[in-house]
Structure 1
């Protein structure tokens, strides 16, 4: 993680607390229990559809294991302390990016690849379209650690849309690592082997692009499948998934999140996300 993105020590923790309060006011009092029972309002397709096509959305397994959440539209955007955005995949098709921008979306992540067998057919429209309306955008890869190694999947991702350029409008690629959609939770890997898989992906991506990938995950999965091992805090920004009114306890060793995915449907197309900082900090992240 580039430590310039947020103030250090107490200041950084205070900034995160302030952001959490703002988000709580903006989204309303939705408790973790609510998140487990709230019905999604059309953001992504049913699990059965995703499983049948071997094309899984970011957070699909988070919703399956922890519950859906349809977030109300934010009623307050706070004193420029956070930035709202979204992540989409082929299921959103040709996205109306101008409407997303008009509704307050300022960044987007686009699914590019999964494993070494899938590419998003709508990637160009989504990746270029978000950029063309003014958003800062990036690409993500849905990891399948049981099919090929981390180095192979990182190369596949970079070769099929997941690269990075220092143009100030392109976010680092993101590794989506969550529950196995079709088998053992941890893809049949030991905690040590899973940490090594993630490390291989991260190191390869960095060698190819010059920047470290964002790591998207959920606290429960990280605990179960890495044994709360693997300290990536000095290199990889955290994108945490938790469908509730706060981001909750973070995965091992991360002291703050960079992006929080707070719902799987709501105002914007696809999943609902918030960047933990002001807009100039989002630009700093895009600049590597």
Structure 2
């Protein structure tokens, strides 16, 4: 062994000697106890939030909803949500819906934060000219969500004003999901546009009758079902109550109702409830829509 008097070494040389000693120690033995780092497909910092510490990995309620337990806590909003008594006997799963607006999504973190299912936007129709657009994040979202075990459905944001247009939207949706695992329905997102803070857009301007709007939705659902998928229609409570024959639709497809609040007033049949547009989920920068799935 080399015999050195460290008191006679310059400061720089001493520092280098200490560093070398540490490195040799780690390589010789310290590394044996160090766990292997998991492979990452995307470089994104993993930050632990207060919610993760207090409510790590929330899962579906093991017990069905009852009169005695009519509410569910959402770790994505820190609130309790009260369910319609018609949902007694069902259990709630936690989910989100995302599009390219959320940017890059780290699905590993979403899953570990409690996300069990997700609806992904495949495309949309413009509310002014009616052009059709594919969601740029869809392919990455569906591939990654599938890879980590999050159950997946997909939707198309509609501004169709007739049956021909709505079938075009259904066909694009079917093409985009082809080759991917689909666990949940393929959804028609049927809602008026928000145009600079007011209700508007070509669907609103069309002033469709309840019968015509319902027939369009049914045509979409039939096209989806004929391709072997379960169809669904997403709409807010006002649309379901006033602009659609929701009872007729519920006989042919799942209903996904949008109502941001702690208690859903909608009295019709529905399978999914979008309860907030302001959820916070690890792996997503900014707000995200959150949903319950009754099963």
Question: Which bin holds the TM-score, normalised by the shorter protein?
Answer: 0.5 to 0.7
For 2:77, which of 53, 56, 72 is the aligned residue? 72
Q: Residue 223 of structure 2 aligns with which residue?
A: 204
Q: What secondary structure does 1:244 align onto?
A: coil
Q: TM-score, normalised by structure 2?
A: 0.62
- Are the counterparts in 2 of residues 109 and 138 from structure 1 also a CA contact under 8 Å? yes
For 1:192, which of 211, 221, 227 is the aligned residue? 211
Residue 150 (1) aligns with residue 166 (2) = yes
Q: Give the Cα separation in 2 of the matches to 1:243 and 1:101.
A: 23
Query: Any residues of structure 2 matched to 1:121-136 within 5 Å, and which?
Result: 121-136=136-151
- Shift in Å at residue 275 of structure 1? 0.9
For 1:21, which of 64, 70, 92 is the aligned residue? 70
Residue 236 (1) aligns with residue 253 (2) = yes
Residue 217 (1) aligns with residue 235 (2) = yes
- Shift in Å at residue 191 of structure 1? 1.5
Q: Residue 65 of structure 1 aligns with which residue?
A: none
Name the Cα RMSD after superposition: 3.1
- Shift in Å at residue 110 of structure 1? 0.5
Query: Any residues of structure 2 matched to 1:134-173 within 5 Å, and which?
Result: 134-146=149-161, 149-161=165-177, 163=178, 170-173=183-186
Residues 211 and 128 of structure 1: is their aligned pair in 2 closer, same or farther, counting only changes over 3 Å?
A: same
Q: Which has the larger radius of gyration?
A: 2
Q: Give the Cα separation in 1 of the matches to 2:66 and 2:168.
A: 39
Structure 2: gaps of 5 or more residues: 1-63, 82-88, 126-130, 195-199
- Are the counterparts in 1 of residues 218 and 252 from structure 2 also a CA contact under 8 Å? no
Residues 186 and 19 of structure 1: is their aligned pair in 2 closer, same or farther, counting only changes over 3 Å?
A: farther
* Cα shift readout 1:75-134 (whole Å, capped 9, x = no counterpart): 89xx99211010000011210111111111111111001136110111111111111111
- Shift in Å at residue 222 of structure 1? 2.0
Q: TM-score, normalised by structure 1?
A: 0.64
Q: What secondary structure does 2:262 align onto?
A: coil
State the structure with bigger RCO (CA 8 A, min sep 6), 1 or 2: 1
Q: Residue 120 of structure 2 aligns with which residue?
A: 110
Q: Give the Cα separation in 2 of the matches to 1:19 and 1:187.
A: 46
- Shift in Å at residue 204 of structure 1? 1.2
* Cα shift readout 1:116-162 (whole Å, capped 9, x = no counterpart): 6110111111111111111111111111123753222211221233x
Q: Residue 20 of structure 2 aligns with which residue?
A: none
